A = this chain, B = another copy of it.
Amino acid sequence: MSAMKNDAITGRDVDFAQWYTDVCRKAELMDYGSVKGFIDYLPYGYAIWEEIQSYLNRRFKAIGTENVYLPTLIPSSLFNKEKEHVEGFAPETLVCTIGGGKELDDPLIVRPTSEVLFSDMYRRIVGSYRDLPKIYNQWCSVVRWEKTTRPFLRGAEFLWQEGHCLFETGEEARKNVQDVLDIYYELGRDVLAIPFLKGRKTEREKFAGAEATYTVEALMHDGKALQCGTSHYFGTGFSEAYGISFQGRANRLEAPHYTTWGVSTRLIGAIIMVHGDDNGLVLPPYVAPIQVAIIPIRQKTPGVLEAARKLKDDLLAAGIRAKLDEDDSKTPGWKFSEYEMKGVPVRIEVGPRDLEKGECTLARRVDGEKKTMPIGEVTSQIKGVLSEIHEKMLSLALESRLSRTREARSIEELDEALSQGGFCKMAFCGKEECELRIKEITNGGTARCIAEVVPAEGTLCPVCGEPATIVCYFAKAY
């Protein structure tokens, strides 16, 4: 890994896929693991995930969520019970057939998702309306035997959270689905600096078996959309299929309303592809493992290291993730590129010239803006600086999305718009066959989510000519 360190990163507009892989590896977010298709989540990448976890745990808890942990393995007899489920996941499963040296009677599937286990548990532990709601969430890894993999975006194993909840009424369940969707949206807005589009999925794009699927979608630098989180309402169908029931208030047996929702380490991919540039990562301050990198200049000059260390200690004491790089085998210039490549939001240079005036220099990764500041004021100012950087990143990302969101009134217009990348709004009838036709014609364009506007009166579906019922954001997607 150290061998790659000083090589240039492939240009973002030269080869976006290669740029992405370069950034993942050179910023030491991950490494290719010992198993083909699997990755090692290195500290710098994993720490981003921990920040996301920490935010979501706090928000989830506020809506009554409790964390649990269910087994990594699913008996194949249980897994195979629900046809639709099997068909969706079976081609990607990894199956254990040997345990303790003996062939297993009932082979075990490494969980690709845990609906089956949650349902089986709920069937056992839920008996009465007094046991509801159950708002359970699990942080874990899931395994899907994918052929083509890309770090964080598609892998044989990824980390995620999966909420699986039961409610007495559809109203409560639908509220839960919306509450979580809002949390995901706000995770983007307030933490990742990603302005998600949020909305319902079309019939064709919704999760198999769900009554409604909601999504948050982001636009990557290359013009492709990335689905970043989903929240599903299943009605009572799933509960019925798995035999979950409860004694209701009217003393009748009822099936609870089921919701599921999740985000994964794919969000790290979104952060990279929304904010990164030709010099590497650009991390939003609130998930950056290092928020401030302090680089001493002429560090052998008396007073420099002392001032830098005091600054670091003060920042750490103020709850800022600060790092002081004292390594005297590297030049300040080398360190500048290193922390730039790692996307550290703020670099502080502490050198003799500034120090004479009691000052230091702050540089913002997002736009290179530099300013000097009395060194004694940094600690009280830094939260404001990080907040400004966050706002700037959010606004750049929003501008990028809006400037690449077009509107179309015909398939030709849509095709033309999608060929340039970005989102394109278009009204259509909403039928699955028309959407499939759109995908064929545009060479992969799909409805990412339904917009919150209704089609203008008299608008017709550009495919079948029947009245349009919904307006969708279309895009080519990862």
Q: Is the CB of A40 within 8 A of B67?
A: no
* A contact face: mostly helix, strand, loop, or mixed: mixed
Q: Assess whether A34 is in contact with B75, with CB atoms less than 8 Å apart.
A: yes
Instruction: Check A47 for interface membership: any CB of B closer than 8 A.
Output: yes
Give the number of copies in the complex: 2
The listed residue (B74, B93, B94) touching A35 by CB distance below 8 A is B74
A110 lies within 8 A of chain B by Cβ: yes
Interface residues on A, range: 35 or more
Q: Once the chains bind, are A68 and B41 in contact (CB under 8 Å)?
A: yes
CB pair A71–B34 under 8 Å, yes or no, is: yes
Binds B, one of A95-103, A362-370, A375-383: A95-103
Q: How far is the CA of A136 from the CA of B70 in the complex (A)?
A: 25
**A73 contacts chain B at the CB level, 8 A cutoff:** yes
Is A96 a contact partner of B75 (Cβ separation < 8 A)?
A: no
Which of B1, B96, B117, B121 interacts with A94 by CB under 8 Å? Answer: B96
Of the 9-residue stretches A124-132, A166-174, A295-303, which lies at the interface with chain B?
A124-132
List the 5 closest pairs (A to B, CB-CB), nearest first. A43-B66, A41-B69, A38-B71, A95-B98, A100-B145
List 12 A-B residue pairs with CB atoms under 8 Å apart, sorted by A's residue number. Answer: A1-B124, A34-B71, A34-B78, A34-B121, A35-B71, A40-B68, A41-B69, A46-B66, A46-B67, A50-B67, A94-B96, A95-B97
Known: A1-B124, A95-B99. 20 other contacts (CB 8 A): A2-B125, A2-B127, A3-B127, A33-B121, A35-B74, A35-B108, A38-B71, A41-B69, A47-B66, A50-B67, A69-B141, A72-B72, A72-B141, A72-B157, A73-B94, A73-B110, A91-B100, A93-B99, A94-B108, A95-B96
